[in-house]
Amino acid sequence: MIFTEEKLQSLPSRHRANLINNCCGIRSGNLIGSVDKDLRENLAIFNSVMHLGSDPALIGFILRPLTVERHTYANIHQTKFFSINQIPKDLYKEAHQTSAKYNKNESEFETCGIEKEYLKDYSIPFVKSSKVKIACAYENEYPIKENGCVMIVGKIEMIAIEDIALSEDLWINHERLNSIGIGGLDTYYSVTCLDRLSYAQAHQESKSIYGPQKTTP
């Protein structure tokens, strides 16, 4: 099927949202933890976390328009820190529930049955069962004028990760972590490592360095 701009606009709003939210494929699933100045906790699911650079180590995510109260945004502005927590397969239903609209004084850790933990000297909460936990400091934000969304940029200060997933060159095998992927706003996928290929060079065939033929990182 071909959907022109005119046809997209003629679709029922929910059908159009399903189509456009899913057409970019599967994205990573993460829970972002934060607190306000009174240390009230918040946890929210995001499918927009993205790598922005390794040196300096930067990570970003997209917030929907600030036309309503966004607890994650307000908390990050108040305390300048947030955590990013990979969602393991056995937590996807509880993680999904964090997308509901809870009151400011309600902690999604409590209401959604997600165990928290605090690491090192950080005042931000982390998801205890997450296999990849990232502590970020707020760096900047960029409004997207076309639709009112906001991109938040954070500096990575710490990464805590399960040893079983790390290779000698610190490549991460997300299949071993039981990571999930998200399609659109409501669909969850298991992650399987199809292959890992050698660094691509012109006129040379890339070789498999991890995949069905290789059983160790």
Query: What is the three-class DSSP state of 114?
Result: coil
* Count of other CB atoms within 10 angstroms of residue 49: 21
Q: Determine the pLDDT at residue 210.
A: 79
Q: Determine the pLDDT at residue 211.
A: 61
Any idea which architecture 24-164 has in CATH?
A: Roll (2.30)
Which has the closest alpha carbon to 182: 76, 61, 69?
A: 61
Detail the DSSP E strand segments found in 11-167: 27-28, 30-35, 41-46, 50-54, 57-63, 81-86, 116-117, 126-127, 132-144, 149-161
Rounded to whole angstroms, the Cα distance separating 137 from 121 reads: 13
**Over the stretch 58-81, which tens digit does the pLDDT of each residue have?**
999 999 998 988 999 999 999 999
CA dihedral 65, 95, 30, 25 (to 10 degrees): -80
Q: What percent of the chain has pLDDT over 70?
A: 97
Instruction: Read off the pTM.
Output: 0.92
Domain boundaries, the chain: 24-164
pLDDT at 213 over 50: no
Q: Determine the pLDDT at residue 96.
A: 98
